[in-house]
Structures are given as C-alpha cells and as structure tokens.
Chains A and B, each alone.
Chain A
Amino acid sequence: MPLKVGVIANPVSGRDIRRVIAQANSLQVADRANMLLRALAGLAACGVAEAVMMPERGGVAGHVLRHLAQSANRGEARFPRLSFLEMPVTGTVDDSRLAARKLAGEGVAAIIVLGGDGTHRAVAAECGATPIAGISTGTNNAFPEYREPTVTGFATGLAASGAVPKDVAIAANKWLKVCIEGAPSEIALVDVAVVTEQNLGARALWRADTFRELYVTFADPQVIGMSAIAGLVEPVGRDEAGGLMLRLAPAGAAATIVRAPIAPGLVEPIGVEDWRRLPAGRAFTPALAAGSIALDGERELSFGPRRKVSIELVENAFATINVAAVMRYAAAKGLLREGRLACA
C-alpha cells in the first residue's frame, strides 16, 4: 500500500477582527496554496506517493490543482498524487472535523494541517491517534510552531515512512477539556480564558479588562495570545507535566501587571492576581458567575448560573510530529545523505 498522508487546509483561518484592532497578518489564498505545495514537495522527497486533501471552496485547492497540472505539463515529479475526500463542503469548522475523522479512518500516516489554533483544535479533537503536523496560517498560532512548510513536509515524510522511529518522531500533547454541566463539550490546545463578556460577537479576545481567569497547557514567553501572559509569569514546556492557571483582573485593580502581546502588535497591561500549577485530571470551576469561555483566544461558549462550566487538563491527549526531533535524527543518522562525508 502506498504511503499516504492527509492534508487539511483551512482557507479562511486568520481573517478575524484582529486585522482591524491590531496588525495581524492576512495571509493570501495564493500564499496558502504555495505553502501547501511546499509541504507536498517535502513529503514527495521522502517517498510519500499519495496525499488526500479535505475539499474546500475557499480557493486553496483550486490554486494547488492549477500548480500541480502546470508541474505535470512540464514533466516534473516533485509532488505526490493528490486526491480529495468525498464529503460535503459547508465552509465551516465542521469540514475540518469531518475531514479529520475521515482521514483517520482511512489510515493516513499523518495529517498536515494548515490553519491557526482553531483549525488545529478541530483536527486534534477528531483525529484520534493519527499524528498532526501543523503549519501556521492563523492569527496567533500559539500551537503550530512557525516553520518553513517544506521542512514540515520533509519531517512528516520521514516520520510517516518509518525512517525515523516513533519514539523520536511522535510527541504527546496536552489539551484542556471544557465541560458544560459535567458533560464534555469542547477542548483547547493552548489556553482557556474566562472573560466577563457573555456576548460571543466577533469571537476574538482583545478587551483586556474583561479577562478573569486563564488556564494553559503550556506557557511560552515567545508566543503571542493569551498564553503569552502565562509564559511571561512562569514558563511551562509543551512536554512538561501539568499546565498553569492564573487569576486575572483589570490592570488598575491588580498588584501585578504583565505587559503581554495578546494579539499581533497588541501589547496590553494585564492585571495578574496570582498563579499556580495546573495539575492534570482535576476539574476546576471558574469563580466568575457568568461570562464566556474563550478557547485558544476565541470566545466560543457563554456560561451562567444555569450553565456551569469546568476546565480540566488532560495529558497524552493527541499526537504531533516532532519536526525538530525528526530533522535532528535525520541529520545525525545521515538519512538524507548519500556517499561518504568527509570532515575537513
């Protein structure tokens, strides 16, 4: 059976209000298509013969097909064969969810995801044990690491083909489980923020005086978004046990102020009351009586006295391709070298 990798590219990630209230980028459809082509080229270079893609109507697939046809006209063999999943296209996040389920069901070796934190969340929730290789095309991109897609494709191909052993190639990740009235409802890959605004509106978070609580799976001072606040308080690694939880307050009402980049180009003073380590397997209930829950920086659920929520950190929740580890291993073992290498 030929080696097969799945592809989910969200054509509309990174289009929200943060383009207006901050200076978030606006990655064009043609650029998204080129990024995908670069990842596909990386896959093919490692022996992946087939890629299966989520159908979409945002234009990415159209551009990719046009380039593949042009490449074939010129007799090149730089890309794997590309086919599309048979599924209806709704133009919503449900497409990413369904595609992830279908790709996992087809037994693809990995799923390459082009999107922001929201797209990766949708795929992670549905892909089971199939590892994800993430490429950032969203707004904050706290979860997918910034990296050239050719390299991500390369590493995914090396992992999928078994050239790099699983214990090196695959990383386990944490997520936050959000329950409503005790029943699992949503997940977040990086952060859950509890804010006073009950209105979901344009979804993004930027009014810092509404922030009250923050739960994070990892806290990296180099990322942007809500988890940056935690990262600037107490860094926690992606592969470390547990996460972090913070109580927040309006900047004027807290003893500690953290200046955090909560969106691209938007650095705000955030009031921090206190913080503590967030252990796995224990459900926490927000102290706020009513408000909304933002998952990875976007308001998704409103809650109140009759709709109670809880938040719990889960370890080993889903798998990703550890691109850095794969490439280090490939270099050390000479997987991409031919002939004798002389050290001068």
Chain B
Amino acid sequence: MSSNPFPLSRDELLRAYRTMRTIRDFEERLHFEFAKGDIPGFVHLYAGEEACATGIMMHLTDIDRIASTHRGHGHCIAKGVDVHEMMAEIYGKATGSCRGKGGSMHIADLSKGMMGANGILGAGAPLICGAALASKFRGDHGVGVTFFGDGAANQGTVLESMNLAAVWNLPVLFVVENNGYAEATSVEYATAVDSYVDRASGFGMPGVTVDGTDFFAVYEAAGEIIRRAREGGGPALLECSVTRFYGHFEGDAQTYKAKGENEFNRANRDCLKIFRARVCDAELASERDFALIDVEVAALIDAAVSSAKDAPLPHARELLTDVYVSY
C-alpha cells in the first residue's frame, strides 16, 4: 500500500464514503418509492450534493449545531441522524424522528445537533445565529452551520443573519449550496450579483467558493473555516458549486434544464465517482472495499424502508403532544 496522500485516515475515508453512499441510496430509493404514492407531502432530493454535507460534517461533533433546508436528508444523515427514524418520519410513522408529525421537511434530532430541516426558505440562518450565540455564551467552542440554496440566499432572513453574525462575531458557517436553480429559476436570471461570496464581503466576512463535487476541496476549506470560527475568528461563508441530479421536488418535470444536463452531470460531476476514483488511485482502498460498503448500505436502506412501511401511524391522541416546548 502506498503512503496516504489525504488528510484523513483510511478509516475516515471509508466513513466519508459510507456517509455519501447512504445519502445517495436513501435519495435514489425515495425517488422510486415516492412515485408509488405511499409517502405523504413533498420530498426534495439531495442526490448529487453529497460531498458538500459530508465534507463539512466530518469536522463537526454533536455539540455543533446545524440548521438545514427543505432539501435536508443529506444534512441529517451526515450529522448522524438515525436512518431508520428518518425514513419512518418521511412515511409519517410513529417511529419517526419527530413521531411522524413532521415529514421530510421537518426532520430534527437535537441530540445530534440537527436543529431541523426547514420548509421555509432561509429560515435556518437566524436559528443558527441563536445556537451559535448560545455556544459563545457557554464557551463550549461549538459552531453553527446553516445551509441554504442559491435561491434562499436572496431571502432577507439570510442577509439579516449574516449581519448579526458579523456584528456579534458568532461562530457561524453560512453554506450556500449553489445547484444553479432556485426551484425552476436559474441563478443567472434571479440573482443580481451572481457571486454569493460578494454577499459575505458586504458584511465584512470572508467568503470562499469551492467545487462542491470535490469532497477533498470542501473538506479542506470547511476545516479551515470551522477551526477559525471555533477559535473566535468569527463567521464566514462557503459557496459550494453542486449539481442536483433530480428536480426541485419529486414530480418536477425539469423542463428548465438543458437537454442532457442531468446525464452530463451524472457522468462527469458525480461526487461519489470522483471520490472513489481518487481514493482507489492512491491505493488507500480497493473497489472491493467500496463494493462491500455499497452492499451494507443497500441492506440498511432496504431495512429502513421495510420497517417504515410496517410501522404504525401516530395515534390521534398524540396530535397535541410535542407541539409546544416549555422553557
């Protein structure tokens, strides 16, 4: 075996791959299952963007908080939320992470620092400012990471949160997952200044753009930004250029995409393929190592879907529980 050219051990590399593969399989399976009509509500799939969530979350522990988006499954899995509970939640079952009352867009697990997917665009940004302020007061060196898309980056709440984070020097990482489309509207049409780094500059915080399909680029950049925030260096923005393999939501005909765009991205910008090829090339792991993980992940997703389908629906008497939290 050759020397390790990566800043992660072989075990960490395989863990990163397992996370990305779990997200991919989870989403591919949901794409298939949603078409059957058994899943209530909407689902928005993260397939194609796995390196972004995984490259960032490898630097976080349970003490660190994240605030996610409507496209939140990948963030949940990378932050360590239980896949069985997630699947059950999406099916609206009593065994789900939120007892089946939230669905895809409200999966949360505070024990893992996952403050929730969020159906309201840009709503995670002020939430994470609160979490980061709490960490700062406690002095626990926790950081907050909020994800939002290229569309939500134009929401007032995001901009107000950047201002607040800069003024209070909060340990926050603002992550723009730029997949090129706000629902069906392209970035070029809907955004006056196409670089999201410029927004960060407007609030006096550093902003960095990376290729979000390159796990190692995300990992290294996020590592430096998170370390800086933990040490009191303040907030920063990371723009990850990513691809969305599916539509905005399941059922989206994607007529706004160029012909062959999805096929091109799957062939040339698949973060899992890029990761696997690079690690194999460095002889840190073999195709067999990856194939074994693929088999285990497939079994996990199978089991999660089966148990979600078999699980009971929430009972009517549960309707008003967990709605309000007393402080």
Contacts and interface: CB of A to CB of B under 8 A. Distances in A.
B197 A202 contact: no
B45 interface: no
Nearest to A203: B217
A304 B236 CA distance: 35
Nearest to A33: B193
B217 A15 contact: no
A290 B3 contact: yes
Given A11-B194, A15-B195, A91-B241, A202 B210 contact: yes
Nearest to A206: B224
B224 A21 contact: yes
B17 interface: no
A15 B241 contact: no
A62 B216 contact: no
A57 B187 contact: yes
B201 interface: yes
Given A20-B225, A20-B228, A304-B2, A199 B195 contact: no
A30 B195 CA distance: 10
A338 to B, nearest CB: 41
Chain B, interface size: which category?
20 to 34
Contacts of B210: 16-17, 202
B148 to A, nearest CB: 18
A299 B5 CA distance: 13
Contact of A199 (B6, B194, B200): B6
Interface string B193-229: 1110110110000111110000011011100110010
Interface string B36-74: 000000000000000000000000000000000000000
Given A20-B236, A26-B201, A26-B206, A202 B5 contact: no
Contacts of A40: none
A199 B216 contact: yes
A82 interface: no
A145 B282 CA distance: 39
A58 B198 contact: no
A91 B194 CA distance: 12
Contacts of A202: 208, 210, 217, 220-221, 224
A136 interface: no
B7 interface: yes
B251 to A, nearest CB: 27
B162 to A, nearest CB: 14
* Most-contacted residue by chain A among B6, B208, B216, B239 (CB, 10 A): B208
A302 interface: yes
B66 to A, nearest CB: 19
A57 B216 contact: no
Contacts of A62: 188, 194
A28 B192 CA distance: 12
Interface string A17-38: 1011100001011100000000
Given A26-B206, A304-B2, A17 B197 contact: no
A199 B208 contact: no
A306 B97 CA distance: 49
A200 interface: yes
A59 B195 contact: yes
Interface string A260-280: 000000000000000000000
Contacts of A57: 187-188, 194
A201 interface: yes
B170 to A, nearest CB: 16
A231 B225 CA distance: 31
Given A62-B188, A91-B241, A198-B282, A12 B217 contact: no
A114 to B, nearest CB: 14
Nearest to A12: B209
A17 B225 CA distance: 8
A17 B5 contact: no
B208 A17 contact: yes
Contacts of B241: 91
A10 to B, nearest CB: 11
Contacts of A16: 208-210, 221
A201 B219 CA distance: 7
B195 A201 contact: no
Nearest to B222: A202
A29 B216 contact: no
18 contacts: A15-B197, A16-B221, A19-B206, A20-B208, A20-B228, A29-B193, A57-B194, A197-B5, A198-B6, A199-B216, A200-B217, A201-B7, A201-B216, A201-B217, A201-B220, A202-B210, A290-B3, A290-B5
Given A15-B208, A59-B194, A198-B6, 13 more contacts: A11-B194, A15-B195, A16-B208, A17-B220, A20-B221, A20-B228, A26-B197, A30-B193, A57-B187, A198-B282, A199-B5, A201-B219, A202-B221
Interface of A: 11-12, 15-17, 19-21, 26, 28-30, 57-59, 62, 91, 197-203, 290, 292, 302, 304
Instruction: Please provide the 4 A-B residue pairs with the shortest distance between their CB atoms, ordered closest to farther.
Output: A198-B5, A59-B194, A201-B220, A15-B209
